[in-house]
Amino acid sequence: MEGGAYGAGKAGGAFDLQTFVRQPHTVLRLVSWVFAIVVFGSIVNEGYVNDSKESEKFCIYNRNRNACNYGVTVGVLAFLTCILYLALDVYFPQISSVKDRKKAVISDIGVSAFWAFLWFVGFCFLANQWQFSKPKDNPMNEGTDAARAAITFSFFSIFTWSILAFLASRRLKDITFQEEYSTLFPTPPPPQP
């Protein structure tokens, strides 16, 4: 890919799927997307259990409905955020304004750091509630694997989103250097015959 402003090729260039898929931030965003699916999917499918004495289902995490709600909400919103930023990554080379490219990279840094924080809170919350779950509430161990999977992938999501924030900040740093270099040392116009 040719060098350009703020980590993209020349504006208006053709979209290359192989180059796009090989970029580290694209791979990490896809991995984060899968992790989000695993977290909210496992809680939605097996995070609520029936008790024979009660008519209503309860959350497997210490009967705390807020734990299940938090896991599902963060998972679904992270899933949607990944889709949004994948679309932005596809559209990014088409953005011709340097200021808009810079805003996109800065928003990527902020959003990725914010999601790393939300996943950290989610991991701590789910792990804490799982630790205090009573075996008598779930004597047949229904959904325990799903509960552990949600906790595990919440933990992994902390790192994927943190690395995404780091890669975006590194991209901004590299591009800022390129912008300053091109300002200090402009390319001379081609010689006139």
CB atoms within 10 A of CB 186: 8
User: In angstroms, how far is CA 186 from the centroid of its own chain?
Assistant: 37
DSSP 8-59: --STTPPP-HHHHHHSHHHHHHHHHHHHHHHHHHHHHHHSEE--TT-SS-EE
Q: How much is the pLDDT for 160?
A: 97
Q: Name the fold adopted by 22-183.
A: Butyryl-CoA Dehydrogenase, subunit A; domain 3 (1.20.140)
Hey, what amino acid is at 172?
A: L
Residue 148: name the closest of 69, 32, 46 by CA: 46
Q: How much is the pLDDT for 176?
A: 74
Q: How much is the pLDDT for 139?
A: 64
Buried b (16+ CB within 10 A) or exposed e, 1-17: eeebbbbbbeeeeeeee
| Residue 58 main-chain phi, psi, to 5 deg | -125, 155
Instruction: Provide the residue ranges of all domains of the chain, joining segments of one domain with +.
Output: 22-183
Q: What distances in angstroms separate CA 109 from CA 104, 175, 186, one per listed residue?
A: 9, 14, 29
Q: Give the pair of three-digit tokens for residue 146.
A: 């799903």
As a whole number of angstroms, the distance between CA 63 and CA 134 comes to: 9
Could you state, in chain order, the average pLDDT of each consecutive group of 10 residues for the chain (193 residues)? Answer: 49 75 94 97 90 80 92 97 95 78 91 97 96 78 87 97 95 75 74 75
